[in-house]
Amino acid sequence: MSTDHQTRTAWAAAARKYEDEYAAHLEAARTAVLLPPELDALADIVPGADVVHPLSGHGLDDAALVRLGARTVHGLDYSEAAVSSAQRRANELGLPCRYTQSTLPNSGLPDACADLVYTGKGALIWLADLDAFLAETYRLLRPGGRLYVYEAHPLVPLWTWDADEPRIRPDRGYFAASHVNDTFPGRGAVEQQHTLADIVTAGLRSGFLLENLAEHPEPFWRPGGVDAAAWDGRLPNSFSMLARRA
């Protein structure tokens, strides 16, 4: 089985959660807000913006983007369950969001249709060809438009979830090309490992002007029942990147 097929199969299974958790997500969407570093970066950019959100998943961030003032949000995901449940919720809440099933890096959207491409929180790890993805996001942006990524730090696959002390997993390496995800959701999917340098230089190669790059101690996601010492503020667990189309 190709790694791409293995990942799609794992997500097709995991995507059931988008339907199972529909009611909880509907409630969460009523009050969803972006994380503090996202608000710092985007508070002046989102109002009035047409936003494209590749790998939109459950789409809760789309409700938060609308709350911050986005004019429209267009979510893209290859999971039928993700797209249909997010669309149903947006319709129910009267949000200006639409969802299209598409397989990135091919969005299927026209050139220069967005003021902001927003993505992350478990997105770049599913994309083997970062150059193709970033070139596609560049193509979608209007001149002067922004790409914003808030993502797990590329070191995260190395941290154990031990509660007493942070440790490095003996089966992982920072410079490995990929590893197989062993936690829900996405268990069994092949995670592509891009180093921070890979991500930044791929953005520059696509023509983006880097406006801000920051590393953060907080993970963007804490699975229930886990309190890892790796999250106690000493190690990087997420990063954010804001880049502008010339």
User: What 8-state DSSP symbol labels residue 209?
Assistant: E
The residue (of 103 and 201) whose beta carbon lies closer to ligand SAM is 103
Nearer of residues 15 and 199 to ligand SAM, judged by Cβ: 15
**At closest approach, how far in Å is the CB of 246 from ligand SAM?**
26
How many CB atoms lie under 10 A from the CB of residue 105?
18
Output the residue with the shortest Cβ distance to ligand SAM: 57
Burial bucket for residue 114 (CB in 10 Å: 0-12, 13-18, 19+): buried
Side-chain-side CA neighbours of 105 within 13 Å: the count stands at 15
Half-sphere exposure of 18 (CA within 13 A, CB side): 24
Q: SS3 of 138, please?
A: helix
Return residues touching ligand SAM (CB under 6 A): 11, 15, 55-58, 77-79, 82, 103-104, 121-123, 126-127, 186
Q: How far is the CB of 72 from ligand SAM (least distance, A)?
A: 18
How near is the Cβ of 55 to ligand SAM at its closest, in Å? 4
Instruction: Give least dist CB 221 to ligand SAM, A.
Output: 8
Angle at the Cα of 73 (from 192 to 110), degrees rounded to 5?
75
Shorter beta-carbon distance to ligand SAM: residue 119 or 206: 119
| Closest approach of ligand SAM to the CB of residue 58, in Å | 4
Which is nearer to ligand SAM, 103 or 195 (by Cβ)?
103
Nearer of residues 3 and 166 to ligand SAM, judged by Cβ: 3
- Backbone dihedral angles phi then psi of residue 71, each to the nearest 5 degrees: -75, -45
